[in-house]
Amino acid sequence: MTESLHLTVAEVVRETADAHTLVFDAALPFAPGQFLTLRLPDGTARCYSLCCGPGERLMVTVKRVTGGHASNWICDNVAAGSVLEALPPSGVFTPRSPDGDFLLLAGGSGITPVLSILKTALARGRGRIVLVYANRDEESVIFAAALRELAAAHPDRLTVVHWLESVQGLPAAPRLASLLRPYQAYEAFVCGPGGFMDACCEALAGLGAARPKVERFVSLGGDPFAAPEPVEGAGGTLEAELDGSVTSHAWPEGTPLLDVLLAGGVEAPYSCREGACSACACRVVEGEVKMLANEVLDEADLSDGWVLACQAIPLTDHVRITYSEDPAAG
C-alpha cells in the first residue's frame, strides 16, 4: 500500500475572494498536471491539483464550493503550521514531454493543473503555449497577476486569452472553434466545469484536432487512505508489468485488480479508488476484464485496452496488464 505523507503548510495565499493556495513546506517529485489527495481530520478525502512548477514547493489551490464540506473547511481552518495527511502526487493529466506546442483550456479552478503544465513547458520546453482561460468576471480570475508576469516574461512563447462570461457570454463550441482554429495542431489539455470541457472537446473535434487530455474534478465518497481488504478465494491469474518489472498474482473472482496488486506488495499507482480520477489507469494486453464504474475513460481509451485498475474485475482465467503507457484521456 502507498504510504501517506504528512505535509506542513508553510503559507496560505488568498488568490481571490473564494480561492486559497496552500503552499506546503515540501519539494517532492511530481509531474506537471498531477494532484494531491488530502485527508481532512474527519476522514473526508479530496483531490486537489498541484499548481506548482519546476523547483517550487508543493502547492494546491482550493476554491470554495457552495455547500462544499472539504473546500469550505480548508479555506476556513487551514493556516501556516497546519499539517495535512496526503497521498503522493498522482494522476495522468500530464504531457509526455515539455517540448512541443500546447493549447491549454481552463475554466475557473481548472486553471490549477494547467498552470503547472504551463510553468513546466516554459521552464523546460521550447515550444509555444496558448492559454484560453474562462471565468465569470475579472474578479474571479485565479492567478491573474502570475499569468500577467509569465506572459510579460515570455512574450514570444506564451499567449494568454481571457474569456469572461460577463463580457463574452458562455463559451459555446462554435465560438470556441473560431478562436482555437489556429492552434488545432497543438497538444491540447482541458480542465474546468463539465459544460466548459464539453464545449472545448466539441470545438476541437469539429476542427479535426487530436483528442485532448481532459481532467475532471471529483468528490470522493470512500477512503482512499484505507488499507485494502485481504484478497482470498478461487479465480485466475494476473500478470502485471510496472516500471520494467513483471509480477504474477492469483486473481480471485470479483476482486478489483488494484486490490490484488496492493495485497501482493506492488506499489501500483492510485488515488480515488472510485473510478473517477484515472490515476490507476493501465492497459490490458491479454485476457478480458470488465469495469464496475468508469467516469473518465472514453470509448477510444477503452478500445485501446485502457481500464481503471480500481474498478476492473476479471472475465477470463488469465489477464496480463501493463502500466508502460499513459491513456490519452486525463
Q: pTM for the complete prediction?
A: 0.82
Mean pLDDT, to the nearest integer, of 35-58?
Answer: 93
Burial (CB < 10 A; 0-12, 13-18, 19+), residue 230, is exposed
pLDDT for 306: 93
The confidence band for 271, taking pLDDT boundaries of 50, 70 and 90, is: confident
Domain 235-322: which topology?
A: Ubiquitin-like (UB roll) (3.10.20)
> Of 18-27, 133-142, 217-226, where does mean pLDDT reach its minimum?
217-226
pLDDT for 75: 95
Note the pLDDT tens digit of each residue in 63-96. 998 888 999 999 999 999 999 999 889 888 899 8
pLDDT for 136: 95
Is pLDDT of 171 > 70?
A: yes
pLDDT for 274: 82
Q: Which of the four CATH numbers 3.40.50.2300, 3.40.50.80, 3.40.630.10, 3.40.50.2000 does domain 102-215 have?
A: 3.40.50.80
Level-2 CATH architecture, domain 5-89:
Beta Barrel (2.40)
Is pLDDT of 327 > 50?
A: no
Is pLDDT of 27 > 70?
A: yes
Cell, residue 59: 502547492
The percentage of residues in the chain with a pLDDT greater than 70, rounded to a whole number, is 94
With CA atoms as reference, report the closest residue to 65 among 195, 200, 193. Answer: 193
Domain spans, the chain: 5-89, 102-215, 235-322
Note the pLDDT tens digit of each residue in 132-149. 999 999 999 999 999 999
Mean pLDDT, to the nearest integer, of 266-280?
Answer: 83
DSSP letter string, 53-80 = -TTPPPEEEEE--TT-HHHHHHHHH--T
